[in-house]
Structure 1
Amino acid sequence: SRRHSTLEKAKLEGLIDEYFTDFEEGIKKIDLLVLATPVGVIKDYFFKIKKTHPSLLVTDVASVKEKIVKESIKILGRDSNFVGSHPIAGSDKSGIEAVQENLFEGKFVIITPCKYTKEENIKKIKDFWTKVGSIPVFFSPEEHDRLLTLTSHAPHLIVYFLLSMIEKVRDKKRLLPCIGPGFLDTTRIGNSSPELWAEIFIYNRKNLLKYLSKFEKNISEMEKILKKADVEKLTEKLTRFKKVRDEIDEKGKNIQKG
Structure 2
Amino acid sequence: MRFRPALTTAVLAAGLAGTLVVSGCAVRADDDGAAGTDAEAPAPAAASSATTEPVVAIADDFPLAAGMGGPDDVVPTSRTGTGLRDLALCGTTPLRGLDARDRMVADNSGGESANTRELVLLDSADEAAAVAEAVAGLPARCSGVEVIGETEVTTEVRTSPFGPAPAATLVQTYAFDGEPGPGATVVHVVPVGAALLVSSTYGQWDAGQLEAGIAATRRPLRRTVAAMAAFDGVPVGVG
Is TM-score (shorter-chain normalized) higher than 0.5? no
Q: Which has the higher contact order (CA 8 A, sep 6+)?
A: 2
Q: TM-score range by the shorter chain?
A: under 0.3
TM-score by length of 1: 0.24
TM-score by length of 2: 0.25
Q: Which of the two has higher C-alpha Rg?
A: 1
